[in-house]
Amino acid sequence: MDTTTVGVDLAKSRFESAVADAEYRIRCRRRLTRAQFAQFFGNHPPSRVVMEACGLAHHWARTLQAQVLPAQYVRTYVKRNKTDAADAGALIEAARCAEIRPVPVKSVEQQTIQQLHRLRAQCMGTRTARINFLRGALREVGVNIPVGARRGIAAVRQALATAQRCGYNKATVALANKLARIVWATWKYQRPFDGNWAARAGHG
């Protein structure tokens, strides 16, 4: 098969490919599994492979020496309804445009650092959500907690100690105490909450 360009629409388990000739006319389309995808390029090495930028694109771009095109530019070439086959065909059309600059392919190290930043952002987001929920729960019983993780945790501890002495609603105190311990464990030790961890580890 004398191919010059292959447009590949990546997915989690199945990949849609469009094979075009030297004049960018699509000669065949194939829907491949992950195993078939690797075998396909082993049997029919094309001169150019183009993919749309996504989470999987950088791995396959390194493996196949492919070009990664910006998704916002490829989208303008999609005809009719958006399907995997239409996306693969749109990649062939986008490959013809010399003005579209490929996305730089990330190395494994660059992807790892990016994932670490995303993981940290997600942890910070869930921590903030728990602190805000705790702040709202205490505000409903007249306890005001300042904004900020450090100040907020300190104020929650003080408020809980005062509530236990003064006999505030026991259910509210128990809930707030539980949430405070979860938030504190996540923030200070960067680990899931374990009610018996402090006792086993010898921490106060």
Is 100 inside a domain boundary? no
Are residues 9 and 45 part of one domain? yes
What H or E segment, with its residue span, contains residue 26? strand 26-33
pLDDT over threshold 50, residue 73? yes
Highest mean pLDDT among 18-22, 160-164, 167-171: 18-22
Are residues 159 and 129 part of one domain? yes
CA atoms 91, 92, 93, 97: torsion sign? positive
Query: Which CATH number does the domain housing residue 77 bear?
Result: 3.30.420.40
Is 33 inside a domain boundary? yes
**pLDDT confidence of residue 125:** 77
Are residues 178 and 127 part of one domain? yes
Is 181 inside a domain boundary? yes
Over the stretch 85-123, which tens digit does the pLDDT of each residue have? Answer: 888 999 999 999 888 999 999 998 898 898 888 888 887
The separation between CA 203 and the C-alpha centre of its own chain, rounded to angstroms, equals 34
Between the CA of residue 136 and those of 27, 142, 173, 188, what are the distances in Å? 61, 10, 13, 21
Are residues 122 and 65 part of one domain? no
Q: Give me the number of domains the chain comprises.
A: 2
Are residues 133 and 72 part of one domain? no
What H or E segment, with its residue span, contains residue 24? none
Higher pLDDT, 45 or 133: 133
HSE-up of 7 (CA within 13 Å, CB side)? 27
Closest CA to 95 of 34, 42, 22, 43: 22
Are residues 17 and 81 part of one domain? yes
Are residues 115 and 60 part of one domain? no
Are residues 33 and 117 part of one domain? no
Is 168 inside a domain boundary? yes
Is 103 inside a domain boundary? no
Are residues 77 and 11 part of one domain? yes
Are residues 131 and 194 part of one domain? yes
Residue 168 main-chain phi, psi, to 5 deg = -65, 175
Give the range of the structural domain holding residue 181, as residue numbers without chain letter: 108-201
Rounded Cα distance, 172 and 137, in Å: 8
Closest CA to 71 of 56, 62, 59, 197: 56
Is 63 inside a domain boundary? yes
Q: Is the pTM above the cut of 0.75? A: no
Closest CA to 48 of 111, 105, 92: 92
Higher pLDDT, 59 or 122: 59
Show which of 37, 71, 95 is a domain's final residue. 95
Is 161 inside a domain boundary? yes
Rounded Cα distance, 183 and 63, in Å: 42
Q: 65 exposed, middle or buried (CB, 10 Å; 0-12, 13-18, 19+)?
A: exposed
Are residues 78 and 10 part of one domain? yes
Show which of 69, 95, 121 is a domain's final residue. 95
Show which of 65, 95, 125 is a domain's final residue. 95
Is 166 inside a domain boundary? yes
